Amino acid sequence: MKKILVTGATGQLGSELSVLSSSYPQYDWIFADRTQVTLDNLELLEFQIKEIKPNIIFNCGAYTAVDKAESEKDLAFTVNHLAVGLIAKYAKENDAKLIHVSTDYVFDGTSSIALDEEVKTNPINVYGESKLEGEIACLKENPDSIIIRTSWVYSKFGSNFVKTMQRLMQERDEINVVNDQIGSPTYAADLAQTMIDIIEASKWIPGIYNYSNEGEISWYEFAVSIKELGSYNCKVGGIPSSSYPTPAKRPSFSLLNKEKIKTLYNLDIPNYKESLKKMFV
C-alpha cells in the first residue's frame, strides 16, 4: 500500500484532502500537522520525513501570513523555500512523487491577460519571493516534481476571505472591499480532488501547473457573490487598494490560465460561483 504524506494537514487544503481520503482507502494516508512535520526546523524535518517514508507527498504546508512575512522574512524563507528543497531532495532520493502547492503571488500583477505557466515571475512581496524560491528549489532538487500554483484559496475549514465576509455581513450594515485586484478564487476541495486525480492518473507529467476556479473577478465582485448566496442585507462597496494599505503589496492582476492542467489531465474545472455554492450547503 502506497503511503501519502500530507503536510499542513490542519490547513484548508490539508483538511479538504482529509475529507476526501476516506474515498481512497487504497492509500495509507498520513496527515501531518506542524508538530509531526516541522517545516521551520530543517534538521528535525529531515528526520521526520525519513521516519514516515512516504511514497507520495502533497506539500500543502506553508508560511501564508502574507503581511507578517514582511517582518518575518527568515521564517517565511525557511518554510517556503528551504523546507521545500529538503522535501524535494527526499522525493528524488527515494523515488517518491511530490506535488508542491505554490501561489499566484510569484507574479507582479502587471499583466492584462490570464497568466500561463511560461510567464516571467516577478514577486512584489516577501511571501511571493519565498514561494518562488521554493519552486526553484523544488525543481532543482527534483525535476520530476509537480508544482501547482493556485490563488485566493477558501474552504469550510480555517480562516479565509469567504468566512470573513460571511461573518462581517452578519455583523455590519456596510462593508468595503477592494475592487482593483483581479483574479479567480480556488475552492480548496476542488484543488484537493485535482491533486488526487493526478496521482490516480495513468500519467505523471512533471512541471508547473496553474489551478483556480473559472471566472475573472475582483475581490469586490467575489464579496457581492457571497452576499447574494448568503442573502445578507449588508451593503457592499468597492474601494481601490490605495484606500486599504497593507504591509505587503498585492498583485493587481493574477488571473491564472488553466489550459495546461485541463488539457494534460483532462480536467473539468468548475466556475467559481458553482463551487462557492458548496460553502452555503
Provide the annotated active-site residues: 127
Report which of 31, 252, 68 is spatially closest to residue 157, judged by C-alpha positions.
31
Give the type of residue at 192: A
**Angle of CA points 125, 126, 132, to nearest 5°:** 95
d(CA 11, CA 61): 7
If one counts every other C-beta atom within 10 angstroms of the C-beta of residue 271, the result is 11
Residue 103 · residue 256 · CB < 8 Å: no
Residue 250 cell numbers, joined = 498585492
Residue 149 · residue 104 · CB < 8 Å: yes
**Angle of CA points 262, 263, 265, to nearest 5°:** 70
Element at 178 (helix H, strand E) = strand 174-178
d(CA 20, CA 14): 10
Residue 192 cell numbers, joined = 484537493
SS3 state of residue 37:
coil
d(CA 44, CA 102): 23
Positive/negative CA dihedral, 31, 36, 41, 43 = negative
